[in-house]
Structure 1
Amino acid sequence: MMQITDFKNNRSSLFNALNRFITAVTVMGETIMVPSLLLDLPVEEEDNHSESNVSKQRDMYENYLLLKSIRNDIEWGIPNEQIKSDLESRKAREEDTDSGDLQRLFHHHVNGLYNVLSKLTLQANHLTNRYTRELGINDLGR
């Protein structure tokens, strides 16, 4: 039987990916005191972060808003109107597919969610670092 602390030690768990993402966005929100300074600041693609930019926003401010919005969706849920719309489109697609292997389908979606959360976490960390670099702020004691 897996104990509660076992999953906390597994870096590839979905729970830990969620925590890393939420923490990164929280740090980003605490660090970026004036989000409007991100307006018109182009997204800088660093070599090691080129895959982490999952969205193609025009500026860092739009990335900031996207990351905060995703965190809110995770913490508070998705609005009912959006869920209904998503369910209707998913229901139409699922009629054409065989959902007999639910475990395989579940693993596919968990793996996809884990990968997206990892990329979003990198994006939040990159945005925070970029903001502090632009303002000339050093480590901030972290």
Structure 2
Amino acid sequence: MMQLGDSSSNKHSLINVMHRFMAAASNMDETIMVPSLLRDLPLEERAAEAEPNNNVDCPLKQRDMYEHYLLLKSIRNDMEWGLLKREVSAGTSFLEMAMKQQQPVNGELLLEDDSDLEHQFHYHLRGLFGVLSKLTLEANNLTNRYKRELRGGNFVR
């Protein structure tokens, strides 16, 4: 019989990847004591050094560090408390939400039929691993950037 402790000791387990993201997001939240200092700081350091493009506003506004911080924090909260928190509080069950996702859209099912559940599972598991790994890197990068900016005095306005 496989124990839960066995899977968490494997560095490539889903539980371990989730824990790494949660730890990185928690560290980010604990390190960034004044999140409002992140406002208007471009996410990329090189974007801060670049010249504006002929004063033409880009239709897709680049996310600043503050918005990215809020996004990472929101994802952590969704993982911690559940994605369907609002729907469940409104009386919708998890099963009902899953069934709504499989309803036809323009005559096509959003998800394949249940005949290949193993393929669907592995497809989404690979995606989840990739997304969680990227989010962990983003949280760590944001934390380190905040520390560098704070040490460099770039927050003084």
Both structures adopt the same fold (TM-score exceeding 0.5): yes
Q: Secondary structure at the match of 2:145?
A: helix
**TM score, norm. by length of structure 2:** 0.70
Change (3 A) 1:88 1:132: same
- Aligned pair 1:94/2:109, yes or no? yes
Of 89, 111, 136, 2:126 maps to: 111
Partner AA of 1:64 in structure 2: Y
Residue aligning to 1:127: 142
Q: Unpaired segments of 5 or more residues in structure 2?
A: 47-60, 153-157
Deviation at 1:44, TM superposition (A): 1.5
State the SS of the aligned residue for 1:118: helix
1:18 alignment partner, SS class: helix
The equivalent of 2:79 in structure 1 is 74
When residues 57 and 63 of structure 1 are mapped into structure 2, their CA distance, relative to the original with a 3 A threshold, is farther
Instruction: Return the letter of the residue paired with 1:61.
Output: Y
Question: How far has the Cα of 1:45 moved from its partner?
Answer: 6.2
Residue 6 and residue 42 in structure 1: after superposition, are their counterparts in 2 closer, same or farther (change >3 A)? same
User: Could you list the runs of 4 or more consecutive aligned residues of structure 1 that deviate by over 6 angstroms after TM superposition?
Assistant: 83-86
What is the CA-CA distance between 1:33 and the residue it aligns to?
Answer: 0.1
Structure 2: which amino acid aligns with 1:17? V
TM-score, normalised by the number of residues in structure 1 = 0.77
C-alpha separation in 1, matches of 2:102 and 2:66: 31
Once superposed, what is the RMSD of the aligned Cα atoms?
Answer: 2.7
Larger Rg: 2
Q: Which has the higher contact order (CA 8 A, sep 6+)?
A: 1
Residue in structure 2 matched with residue 58 of structure 1 by the alignment:
63
After superposition, the C-alpha distances for 1:28-66 in whole angstroms (9 at most, x for unaligned) are: 0000000001000101168xxxxxxxxx85200011000
